Structure 1
């Protein structure tokens, strides 16, 4: 598999070994390592070896293999940290501190101090607004097919 990287990218530097990290997984598809500022101990970042900035940039043939690694790391984080569950998330551009796709795998336990998502939740004004929103997304899906 061809490895593509950008010398200025922090996570590409992690992948090439230029930046030391605490590795938990490394193979031809992905590298997973402890986040240096974890929400909780055991917070892992999973990154593809190929430099892509967002999930939508990930080549189709890597989606399955990459998320197989995310699934494996998630199970390992839960087992290794004796966690009741986990939070698995990725930012696309907004709030993405490093512009290289990365998935956060965070061990979770009840009453651990985190409350759902890290931002305020909202509601649709009415059923018509929700229906319109769903229709816009369905149309965008048809446009991409």
Structure 2
């Protein structure tokens, strides 16, 4: 695949943006959406996506990329507070060879506790009640 591969308007995150699929939303404005990963690698694992259609870092407009990272920083700070984290891991994958699975740009923001390993990627679907609780904690920290 090349950097010019077309954006697929039917990817799962585009469907979430259109309200066709549910998500545990924690933040939304006119340019970005933040929601919890349903297979979190650690408690509070959130995804920050632009509302602009962008396959990945190779085709997103620079201003939209900068904005996504500004929001990722806010989410990282809130996640540190909400989940008593000692650090944070940010990940972004572009194209299949780079590890991308959903082809809408997204940044993983994962609060980390010292000495606790992350779960493997896409390894275990989280209980819905736990996701609701984690979403409420992260949303409250973002609004504080």
Q: Same fold (TM over 0.5)?
A: yes
**Partner residue of 2:125?**
none
User: Residue 71 of structure 2: SS of its match in structure 1?
Assistant: helix
The Cα shift of 1:11 comes to 0.3
The Cα shift of 1:85 comes to 0.9
The Cα shift of 1:103 comes to 0.4
**Partner residue of 1:31?**
33
Cα distance in 2, alignment partners of residues 68 and 49 from structure 1: 14
The runs of 4+ residues in structure 1 deviating greater than 3 Å are none
**Partner residue of 2:100?**
96
Flag structure 2 segments of 5+ consecutive residues without an equivalent: 1-6, 122-144
User: Residue 18 of structure 1: SS of its match in structure 2?
Assistant: coil
Deviations 1:11-35 (A, max 9, x none): 0111111110100111111111000
TM-score norm. by structure 2 comes to 0.72
**Partner residue of 2:110?**
106
Cα distance in 1, alignment partners of residues 50 and 94 from structure 2: 14
The Cα shift of 1:67 comes to 1.3
Q: Is the 8 A contact 2:49 2:104 kept in 1?
A: yes
**Partner residue of 2:46?**
44
Q: How many pairs align?
A: 112
Cα distance in 2, alignment partners of residues 21 and 82 from structure 1: 24
User: Residue 104 of structure 2: SS of its match in structure 1?
Assistant: coil
The Cα shift of 1:6 comes to 4.8
**Partner residue of 1:62?**
64
Cα distance in 1, alignment partners of residues 8 and 51 from structure 2: 11
**RMSD value over aligned CA atoms?**
1.9
Deviations 1:37-85 (A, max 9, x none): 0001110011110111111211022232221111111111111111111
TM-score norm. by structure 1 comes to 0.71
